[in-house]
């Protein structure tokens, strides 16, 4: 009952000075709203990134021509990776379920009648569809026979097929890539966004032999994709591949690798690291806002103590203990910060939902920001409310009533 009475006294005191109460809440509202938006966007971004990582593959090792420490798109114009490297990996690294070799060129002009577009042209072997878990939706895939005979056939991504043929069935029609004419034999299933943010479906697939000799006129490749049955061995097999290629390319320290090896685990780790770093940085800014709000709260409460000296003296004279006075001011401080937390959370959720609808930015609403905000509000309320409460409790009734 005593706690309820103290809480009611605090509530009446806050209600009597609404503007001052709102000013005390302002810092908490802004800080909590910012924290809520940051966590919603951070979780949304991580979810989007992990969706792209899943498109990369969870049982996959990727070897890319050219060095580098971060996961990056295949590097065109780099000649350090060749088909015989893939054959050496196939022969000397046990545990591979599937090996796929391909060479890519971006932005090549593709024509069909009066229609024209640009697409990623991928020259690949017959293992592409299984290695990427990417079958055709219509028609036939690239086959061993296409590879052996350097056939001038292609499989289109759905975006490219739509841009060139509209609603017409492209199977059996012809497209021109550069100066070479290809017959369309299939259309891939829709895949969506790539791990790098591009359109996976804006592409043309052709046999590797045809691409290297008739279209690209080169003897090097851009990528080797390995599919592993046991995901627990990804790191081990990735290191075996790395050491094999270093021996083949005569690379010794301190010379840097002229190729890059990535596993799904490394890609996921890098993606999570970037997302978390951004979230931590922005959360620190939100925490700074809460700190400033707490300082404002403490100073306004100190001013309030000075204005309410007679009230405090009267309560003490009527039998209130120092503990009662102390608890009243701490309760007022907590009431301000928790109310600010509720308003800030509602504002943060509203901003997050609006941001998602207006900008299509990835947002995930969860209970975690609310729980974290409640903890922050209680810590700020108690920490910054103690000094004003202590000052009020130390006032002597006789001196306060003068």
The top-scoring range by mean pLDDT among 204-208, 299-303, 359-363 is 204-208
Between residues 54 and 127, the one the model is more confident about: 127
Write down the pLDDT at residue 59: 79
Look at residue 366 and tell me whether its pLDDT is greater than 60. yes
pLDDT above 70 for 367: yes
Give the β-pairing of 174-177 and 115-124.
unpaired
Q: Per-residue DSSP letters for 228-253? A: ES-GGGHHHHHHHHHHHHHHHTT--T
Note the pLDDT of residue 238. 86
Give the pLDDT score at 79: 80
Q: Which of 124-128, 229-233, 308-312 has the highest mean pLDDT?
A: 124-128
Instruction: Specify the residue for token string 């270093």.
Output: 246
pTM of this prediction exceeds 0.85: no
Please state the domain extents for the chain. 2-51+269-401, 60-228
Report, as an integer, the average pLDDT of 147-155. 94
Q: Summarize the confidence of residues 328-339 as an average pLDDT.
A: 74
Grade residue 402 by pLDDT with cuts at 50, 70 and 90: low
CA distances for 215 relative to 76, 121, 126, 208, angstroms? 15, 10, 18, 10
Q: Which residue has the higher pLDDT, 102 or 46?
A: 102
Q: Cα–Cα distance between 351 and 48 in angstroms, integer?
A: 19
pLDDT band at 7 (very low <50, low <70, confident <90, very high): very low
Average pLDDT of the residues of the chain? 78
Closest CA to 28 of 351, 291, 279, 285: 291
pLDDT value at position 6?
45
Instruction: Report whether the peptide linkage leading into residue 254 is cis, meaning its omega lies within 30 degrees of zero.
Output: yes
How far is residue 242's CA from residue 235's CA, in Å, rounded to a whole number?
11
Of residues 206 and 238, more confidently modeled: 206
Q: Kindly tell me if the per-residue pLDDT of 10 is higher than 50.
A: no
Tokens encoding 359:
């900008």
CB 206 within 8 Å of CB 122: yes
Please, are residues 347 and 26 in contact by the beta-carbon 8 Å criterion? no
pLDDT in tens, 176-222: 998 899 999 999 999 876 655 677 899 999 999 999 999 999 989 99
């Amino acid at each position: 009952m005593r706690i309820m009475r103290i809480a009611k006294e605090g509530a009446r005191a806050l209600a009597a000075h609404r503007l001052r109460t709102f000013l005390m809440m302002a810092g908490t509202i802004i800080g909590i709203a910012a924290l809520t938006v940051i966590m919603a966007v951070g979780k949304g971004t991580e979810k989007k990134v992990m969706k792209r990582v899943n498109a990369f593959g969870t049982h996959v090792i990727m070897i890319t021509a050219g060095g580098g420490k971060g996961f990056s798109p295949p590097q065109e114009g780099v000649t350090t990776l060749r088909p015989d490297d893939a054959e050496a990996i196939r022969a000397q690294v046990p545990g591979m379920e599937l090996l796929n070799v391909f060479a890519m060129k971006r932005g090549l002009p593709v024509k069909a009648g009066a229609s024209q577009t640009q697409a990623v042209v991928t020259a690949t072997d017959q293992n592409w569809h299984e290695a990427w878990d990417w079958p055709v939706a219509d028609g036939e895939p690239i086959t061993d026979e296409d590879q052996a005979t350097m056939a001038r056939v292609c499989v289109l991504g759905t975006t490219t097929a739509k841009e060139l043929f509209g609603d017409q069935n492209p199977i059996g029609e012809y497209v021109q890539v550069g100066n070479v004419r290809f017959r369309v034999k299939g259309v891939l299933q829709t895949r969506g966004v790539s791990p790098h943010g591009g359109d996976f479906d804006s592409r043309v697939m052709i046999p590797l032999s045809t691409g290297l000799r008739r279209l690209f006129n080169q003897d090097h490749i851009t990528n080797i994709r390995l599919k592993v049955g046991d995901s627990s061995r990804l790191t081990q097999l990735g290191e075996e591949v790395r050491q094999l290629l270093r021996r083949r390319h005569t690379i010794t320290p301190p010379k840097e690798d002229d190729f890059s090896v990535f596993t799904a685990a490394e890609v996921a780790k890098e993606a999570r690291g970037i997302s978390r770093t951004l979230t931590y940085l922005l959360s620190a800014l939100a925490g700074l806002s809460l700190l400033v709000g707490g300082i404002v709260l403490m100073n306004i409460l100190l001013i309030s103590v000075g204005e309410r000296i007679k009230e405090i003296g009267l309560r003490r004279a009527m039998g209130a203990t120092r503990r009662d006075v102390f608890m009243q001011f701490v309760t007022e401080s907590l009431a301000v910060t928790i109310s600010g937390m509720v308003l800030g959370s509602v504002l943060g959720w509203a901003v997050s939902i609006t941001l998602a609808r207006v900008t299509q930015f990835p947002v995930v609403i969860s209970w975690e920001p609310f729980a974290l905000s409640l903890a922050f509000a209680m810590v700020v309320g108690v920490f910054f409310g103690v000094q004003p409460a202590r000052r009020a409790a130390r006032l002597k009734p006789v001196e306060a009533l003068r």
